[in-house]
Structure 1
Amino acid sequence: MTDRISLRQLDYFVVAAQTGTMTGAARQLFVSQAAVSLGIAELERQLGVQLLLRSKSKGLTLTEAGRVLLPQARTLLARTDELQAGLRDVGQTPAGDLLVGCFTTIAPFLLPGLLEEFQRAHPRVRVDFVEGSLVDLQHQLLDGRCEVAVLYGVDIQPGIAHEVLYATEPHVLLPRDHALARRSTVRLRDLADQDMIMLDVPPSMRYFTEVLVGAGVSPRVRHRTRSFEMVRSLVARGFGYSLLIQRPALDYSYEGREVTVRPISDEVVPLPVVLARPAGATPTRRAAAFAAFCHDCVARDPGLG
């Protein structure tokens, strides 16, 4: 009979790859280091390949075979968790752990409300989240760490499937006493001789630059920052204008200084917000439930974006 690998061996391997050391994996799994080492060694023997390179100075490093196995092992373990949870209710109710990724600047505006309502609708799903850049989130999807992620629909890597949730458009952020703040809308060409505060986060920076250049404006960037709130604070202090997509409920900086938000009168190409997942993989019941819930929320609240 074929010597089959076990779920425990896969669990040891996944956690060891995640923590980077046998000691860290043993601590997280509440087992001895010897148990983890032996389990992974046996897994490598059964598969006939080396999965991890061991180094006292660098810890554990995935081999090519290890990189291939890791996302598949994560998916298999997630399926097993769902199977166990689902059988408690004849498999009809979404259940188990769901890790949702979200682009950093979108997260505080969208995620808290989604999580609250989704948990109310699906109490047996334990949802956690991770924030990150487009590159980080797509890597986590491909590695099997995240099942779904909310991000901007640009620079999507091969192997990632995505569905548009809604489209967003930028607005102009101005100091309260700026001359353009007296207008109801702002033409982009009127910003040509103004200093700009650039949100230096991909893909926002490139998108805002393309919006301005498309209107014949070469942005005169005075300051760059990766902080959304730093942009608003600098604008509130009169250092320049900015283009942003997300808008807090109150038009005040962290310092309590007022900023003015004005729509752009030019026609601007919208930036889509999408729900992404690994292509070719059948979503778990909980991931499918979350996707359906997101689309339902957007349908109920078209102004969500």
Structure 2
Amino acid sequence: MKTVRQAPAWSLRQLLYFVTVAETGTITGAAEQLVISPSAVAAAVEKLEHAFGVQLCVRRKAHGITLTAAGQDLLRRSRALLEEAEELAEVGGGAGESLGGNLTVGCYHTLGPTCLPPLLSAFAADHPRVRTTFTEADQDSLQDGLERGELDVAVLYDMQLRDGVASLELFRTRPHVLLPAGHPLAGDPEVRLRDLAAEPFVLLDSPPSSQDTFSVFRQVGIEPQVRFRAGGLETVRALVGRGLGWSLLVQRPWSDRTYEGREVVVREIADGVPEVRVLLAWSRRTPLTRAARAFARAAPTAFTPSPILSQQSTTTEENR
């Protein structure tokens, strides 16, 4: 017997109003953005609550709204549904020949300078109608964004991934030692971490990079003498360039000069340190949009071969 489908007791417009309320944090803010009356926005949210039989948000005078657990779940689903509706409208309007819609990409902040430019430029060349935005953040914030539906995909390390995150490998890279140009070991093609253990260390203090750094030291059986902790890659490089310590990093900019113009020296680690995988990740709970699927298909080709490993290999050959 054929199933008879029924129209839902809610509309896409109501979902749009609800998403706007969640993103602005207030009924008034949503009304201003949508250019409608606050009463119309409030009525749409109330009708959604009645249709789903749950409370979606808690309204506090002078403090805006706070989503309930049900509201958070509906927000994630609504964003995906509205994205699909926009894509369907484009197809219906005759724009199906080229991909459109929105795409929001997250990226671990130290990976941004080396990963985002090739990814975004290649994707924009193939899909110029997709409106792509990006945000840089730490690993936990990126995974939060994926779970909440705020990010379509994210570029991050294969470290401390949650069960709800799916991924594919973009490339692999290896940690390296960063030394001041005048360091006694700067002329060696490879460096043993034990030979640096007693010297001041500059830590990139940004999880999960910091945890991975300490795990490398545990594998080798040494404890670094942490002198400075920096939250940014270029700050670490600048401190090393000043001769204030050495560091262990994964990301390597093409230039071996700091922002001050001081030279830093990259050397391979002789202790057999394992490679680190860089991934493109997305939430298992939210279906990928057409734009996100296209981005996932194209992303690995932007790093074939890995620009970081290729550069490291070339530098190693030149030093032999």
Query: Is 2:63 aligned against 1:27?
Result: no
User: Does 126-135 or 56-65 show the bigger shift?
Assistant: 56-65
- Residues 147 and 285 of structure 2 are in contact (CA less than 8 Å); yes or no, is this contact kept in structure 1? no
SS in 2 for 1:286: helix
**Residue in structure 2 matching 1:85, options 90, 99, 102:** 90
- Residues 191 and 217 of structure 1 are in contact (CA less than 8 Å); yes or no, is this contact kept in structure 2? no
Aligned to 1:60: 65
Distance 1:238 1:112 in 2: 30
**Residue in structure 1 matching 2:270, options 265, 270, 273:** 265
- The alpha-carbon deviation at position 88 of structure 1 amounts to 3.7
- The alpha-carbon deviation at position 156 of structure 1 amounts to 0.9
SS in 2 for 1:267: coil
Task: Give the RMSD, CA atoms, in angstroms.
Answer: 1.7
Query: Which structure 1 residue ranges, 5 or more long, are not aligned?
Result: none
SS in 2 for 1:240: coil
Distance 1:236 1:133 in 2: 25
1:178-197 mapped onto 2 (5 Å cutoff):
178-197=183-202
User: Does 123-132 or 195-204 show the bigger shift?
Assistant: 123-132
- Residues 124 and 130 of structure 2 are in contact (CA less than 8 Å); yes or no, is this contact kept in structure 1? yes
Aligned to 1:302: 306
Query: Which structure 2 residue ranges, 5 or more long, are not aligned?
Result: 1-5, 310-320
Distance 1:100 1:111 in 2: 9
- Residues 251 and 308 of structure 2 are in contact (CA less than 8 Å); yes or no, is this contact kept in structure 1? no
Distance 2:294 2:226 in 1: 43
Distance 2:229 2:257 in 1: 20
- Residues 213 and 219 of structure 1 are in contact (CA less than 8 Å); yes or no, is this contact kept in structure 2? no
1:20 counterpart letter in structure 2: G
SS in 2 for 1:180: coil
Residue deviations 1:82-141 (CA, integer Å, cap 9, x gap):
111233447453221111111111011110221112111111211111111111111111
- Residues 86 and 95 of structure 1 are in contact (CA less than 8 Å); yes or no, is this contact kept in structure 2? no
Residue deviations 1:24-63 (CA, integer Å, cap 9, x gap):
2122222222221121112212222211100014310111
Distance 1:86 1:240 in 2: 57
Aligned to 2:47: 42
SS in 1 for 2:135: strand
SS in 1 for 2:271: coil
**Residue in structure 2 matching 1:289, options 285, 291, 294:** 294
Distance 1:89 1:220 in 2: 63
- The alpha-carbon deviation at position 3 of structure 1 amounts to 6.3
What TM-score does the superposition give when structure 1 sets the normalisation length?
A: 0.94
Distance 1:127 1:2 in 2: 32
Aligned to 2:226: 221
Query: Is 2:166 aligned against 1:138?
Result: no
**Residue in structure 2 matching 1:169, options 152, 167, 174:** 174
Aligned to 1:212: 217
Q: How many residues align?
A: 304
User: Does 23-32 or 173-182 show the bigger shift?
Assistant: 23-32
Going from structure 1 to structure 2, the CA distance change for 1:298 and 1:87 (only over 3 Å counts) comes to: farther
Aligned to 1:13: 18
Distance 1:215 1:182 in 2: 22
Distance 1:134 1:227 in 2: 14
2:291 counterpart letter in structure 1: R
- Residues 98 and 128 of structure 1 are in contact (CA less than 8 Å); yes or no, is this contact kept in structure 2? yes
What TM-score does the superposition give when structure 2 sets the normalisation length?
A: 0.90
Aligned to 1:254: 259
Distance 2:123 2:131 in 1: 10
Aligned to 2:312: none
- The alpha-carbon deviation at position 79 of structure 1 amounts to 0.9
- Residues 80 and 289 of structure 2 are in contact (CA less than 8 Å); yes or no, is this contact kept in structure 1? no
